[in-house]
Amino acid sequence: MSFNGQKVLPAVRDVKDFEMMLESNYEYGVFLDIHISRLKSCYKLANQHNKKMFLHLDLVQGLKSDEFATEYICQEMKPYGIISTKGNVIMKAKQKKVKAIQRVFLLDSSSITKSFSLIERTKPDYIEVLPGLMTKVISEVSEKTNKEIITGGLISTVEEVEAAIEAGASAITTSDRELWKHFEPES
């Protein structure tokens, strides 16, 4: 399984990451830890290079992660998709016809139960499960929600990526450039 032919979604944390993403064969990626003042120029460059970038809205510096910010980002930046832990952000992105990834941290059985309720309410396009090393939980979330699963967090080896894919994840989000290189799609 893969996310549109990619086992890895490069997670861009800085300018060097972004330059590497732009020069790569990856079509899809994620902006993390970005300052609001850089969003417009980064999305302009991404579009010029035919890159479809998700934006982790909770990590935009200088912007409150709420439905108003989501509406602004969707209208002004026109991202391919939004990632958030917040249900109101996911629902607003979907209302604006932007792909939505509900990010959930599954730490114990209580967090799993709460996450299933959140997913049922927000109806995201995709679910991102963290941490990504829990293959049993990836399978459970995939079966219970019938949604495409993306995972990340604490994955640092090729074998861990493959195990997550085998468990039912479509792709792994990672800022590890070595994993980007290993799983880069052919042109």
3-state secondary structure 143-174: HHHCCEEEEECCCCCHHHHHHHHHCCEEEEEE
What residue ranges of the chain have pLDDT lower than 50?
none
Predicted local distance difference test score (pLDDT) of residue 49: 98
For 115, the 3-state DSSP assignment is helix
For 39, the 3-state DSSP assignment is helix
Predicted local distance difference test score (pLDDT) of residue 1: 65
Place of tokens 């963290």: 130
Domain ranges of the chain: 8-183
Predicted local distance difference test score (pLDDT) of residue 10: 98
Predicted local distance difference test score (pLDDT) of residue 187: 83
Strand residues in the chain grouped as ranges (E): 8-12, 28-31, 34-35, 52-56, 60-61, 81-84, 99-105, 126-130, 148-152, 169-174
Q: What is the pTM of this model?
A: 0.96
**CATH code for the structural domain at 8-183:** 3.20.20.70
